[in-house]
Structure 1
């Protein structure tokens, strides 16, 4: 897209003047300077607008890039929090199972001890029975003599 520069537009508006016109050359030069000044101002305004637009676009691109990066970071953060919550829950469950296992171990130890005591009691009863039979046999032998 071609647009003539303000300076070329100003040059196109300058009309040739003859030396016969009083102040014609001077007024043409003044007109040329005036047109150049206005075209410079328009060009400066246009440049400033384009600069502001470029800054807005750069800020928008920057915001989009930050959002894109932060989206992944935020997802990782949410996942990390979920994992930490699961770890805490698992730690509580493990602690509960450890207590339950300790209770089972204590109960099985008590049962084992009781079984040993029953075995010891049974052995003691057999010994007592044998001793009683020996005493009865001795008394029976003494009584028959």
Structure 2
């Protein structure tokens, strides 16, 4: 009787161990499946992020190139405007000089007229 109870107990424990082993194997397989799915999802997201980063870097380089070009062009325009302003200043100085010469000539002509009238 005792030996049959021990034998029954041993059989039950063997079945429980077998069920535990099967459950453990199923849990490991499910865990592996979930891990693989999560890894694939993360990898897919990372590839999208990497592609977006590369695209952004390319656009940044293009924008930097455009900015450099526009900066150079603006500097050229600034130099042209500065030169033009200098030319306008010279024209203004020339006009002022011409007016001064004209005023002096009128006074000289007036003085010569006065001298010629008083001598006659």
TM-score w.r.t. structure 2 length?
A: 0.68
Does residue 118 of structure 1 match 2:98?
Answer: no
The RMSD of aligned alpha carbons is: 3.2
Higher relative contact order (CA 8 A, sep 6+): 1
Does residue 50 of structure 1 match 2:26?
Answer: yes
Structure 2 distance, partners of 1:103, 1:66, is 54
Structure 1 distance, partners of 2:36, 2:44, is 12
Does residue 100 of structure 1 match 2:64?
Answer: no
TM-score w.r.t. structure 1 length?
A: 0.59
Equivalences, count: 120
Write out per-residue CA displacement over residues 14-57 of structure 1, whole angstroms, 9 at most, x where no aligned residue.
Answer: xxxxxxxxxxx988877665555444433332322222111111
Which protein shows a greater Rg? 1
Structure 1 distance, partners of 2:22, 2:96, is 109
Write out per-residue CA displacement over residues 92-132 of structure 1, whole angstroms, 9 at most, x where no aligned residue.
Answer: 44443443333222211111111111222222232233333
Alignment of 1:22-37 (within 5 A): 35-37=11-13
Greater helix share, structure number = 2
Match of 1:6 in 2: none
